[in-house]
Amino acid sequence: MNKATEKKKKFLSQEEKMEIIRFHLLEGVSQSELSRRYDIDPSVVSRIISKFATENDKSALLMKNKPIDSQAEEIKALKAEVLELKKKLYEETMRADFCDTMIDVAEEMLAIEIRKKAGTGRSKGCTEKSDIR
């Protein structure tokens, strides 16, 4: 074998291996195409994919069977949910601010403390035994 036909021994990082798996399983890129892209022997690509499939049999099946369109739809649905949750958070923040303002106004107008100060003990209510007689 001459040097022109031999492929260099190339070490792939874990990221490159995951890229190969993603391209093959999610985007349907052939093993021979991946071999050319990464300048590695086709048997290496095959081993990377096989090893991933045996170690992650459920994940590999899910990745291979899940079309890209459904992922886009799922992302769109999640973005809509995030937007709805942000709206609800904003409304609850506004409600809490309104309640605080209402209490501030009531304390000022009625000249009484409605909010309990930090560090004060529990007030005795009429349910205490000493009050019931």
User: What's the one-letter identity of residue 77?
Assistant: A
The 3-state secondary structure of 83-125, one letter per residue: HHHHHHHHHHHHHHHHHHHHHHHHHHHHCCCCCCCCCCCCCCC
pTM of the model: 0.39
17 and 46 share one domain:
yes
In sequence order, which residues have a C-beta less than 8 Å from that of residue 31 and are 6 or more positions away?
24, 42, 45, 46, 49
Query: What is the total count of domains within the chain?
Result: 2
105 and 86 share one domain:
yes
Structural domain of residue 72, as residue ranges?
Answer: 67-112
| Residue 119 within a domain | no
49 and 61 share one domain:
yes
15 and 61 share one domain:
yes
73 and 55 share one domain:
no
- Report CA torsion sign: 60, 64, 66, 69: positive
pLDDT digits (tens, 9 = 90+) for 49-82: 888 878 776 555 555 555 556 677 888 889 999 9
pLDDT digits (tens, 9 = 90+) for 19-35: 998 888 888 889 899 99
61 and 101 share one domain:
no
26 and 74 share one domain:
no
49 phi and psi angles, rounded to 5 deg: -70, -45
- DSSP, residue by residue, 34-95: HHHHHT--HHHHHHHHHHHHHHTHHHHHHHHHS-HHHHHHHHHHHHHHHHHHHHHHHHHHHH
Q: What is the pLDDT of residue 93?
A: 96
